[in-house]
Amino acid sequence: MGVAISMDQKKKTQASIQPLMDLVRSDMGRVNDLILEKAGSDVQMIPEVAKHLIDSGGKRLRPMLTLAAAQMCGYCDDDPDAIGHIKLAMSVEFMHTATLLHDDVVDESDMRRGKLAARMLWGNQASVLVGDFLLGQAFRVMVDVGSLQALDVLSTAACVIAEGEVLQLSVAQNMKTTQADYMEVIRSKTAALFAAAAEVGPILGNRPEEEIVALRTYGLELGNAFQLIDDALDYGGSAADLGKNTGDDFREGKITLPVILANERGSDEDKAFWKRVMEERKFDEADLEHAMTLLQKTGALDDVLLQARQSGAAAIAALDVFEDSAHKSALIDAVEFCISRAH
């Protein structure tokens, strides 16, 4: 089983996120308006940089989770003018955008979502500071919503994300990184925001703790699955599919699960190869080809996809506490969508 993406499969994946997109379409329009408004500033460089990233065609998966969870939990049923979910969805997207800006500086990335990274156009300095501005705006807008419980969830996520990023830095280029280390990194840097994005929906809807826990778990496991697939695709997709370059993690010495598994299962010669390329950072493009061969040969990529499927199943199982509905069904399809990016 490879990780290449065929055109047929792409059509199928686009279809399966469609129910979620349809359910939140109207609210997402309001989120997009608020995003543009809150990315505004008299300091010209701020909307320029923010717009570059906002326009670059991310799927807005995280704010979609907030909107769908809030809708499913009946937040807007009594008050059609309710706007808390729009504001929190915007805050979640700004937190994510700020992270991307800072990530590009930390990773020294040239590309982001198939476009030049902001730091290549405006410099590292602007990426750091505009990221700080967006994070500040995220907090300001969520304060405006007035739910201390939602503020607690989102501010905790902000800390956990930063911790995950620092942890990732600490274990970079270190082949002693364990599966547990890796899972801790992706849980923090990726899954924590998915979890918070989903969890604030039932909080807004004043739903019981059971439903809050269920949607947090759903978001967390979906986030884990999403990142596992992303890390597999880094050794299989192409820049056009991913909006980043295949082999970016390899070139940056990021120790992801495919590499951890291939190293564990490899011969002494394989282990020496991984040590040379990941720790000593001595490699050329031919080594990337060899790495991809080892990832296939050891079954490492297959097992990463298996783990992603297990996380996906856990996400879907968490929704059991909810009655069947169009929203529940769309959230289940979203899991399938994330996993079917690789096949």
**Smallest distance, a second copy to C-beta of residue 252, A:** 11
**What are 340's two structure tokens?**
């079917």
Residue 36 touching a second copy (CB under 8 A): no
**CB 95 within 8 Å of CB 155:** no
Angle (deg, nearest 10), helices 7-38 and 326-339: 110
CA distance 49 to 116: 12
**For the window 81-110, what string marks contact with a second copy as x by the rule CB under 8 A?**
---------------------x--xx----
Residue 144 touching a second copy (CB under 8 A): yes
**Smallest distance, a second copy to C-beta of residue 59, A:** 24
Residue 140 touching a second copy (CB under 8 A): yes
Residue 310 touching a second copy (CB under 8 A): no
CA distance 194 to 260: 24
Cα–Cα distance list, 281 to 128, 253, 264, 275, 277 (Å): 27, 7, 19, 8, 5
Residue 136 touching a second copy (CB under 8 A): yes
Count of residues of this chain found to bind a second copy when the rule CB under 8 A is applied: 41
Residue 194 touching a second copy (CB under 8 A): no
Angle at the Cα of 74 from the Cα atoms of 69 and 78, rounded to 5 degrees: 145
What letter represents residue 53's amino acid? L
**Which residue from 6, 125, 206, 267 is in contact with a second copy, where contact means CB under 8 A?**
125
Residue 146 touching a second copy (CB under 8 A): yes
**CB 254 within 8 Å of CB 106:** no
Residue 166 touching a second copy (CB under 8 A): yes
CA distance 12 to 2: 17
Nearer to a second copy, 152 or 289 (CB): 152
Residue 173 touching a second copy (CB under 8 A): no
Chain residues binding a second copy by CB under 8 A are 41-46, 102, 105-106, 124-126, 128-130, 132-133, 135-137, 139-140, 143-144, 146, 148, 151-152, 155-156, 158-163, 165-167, 169-170
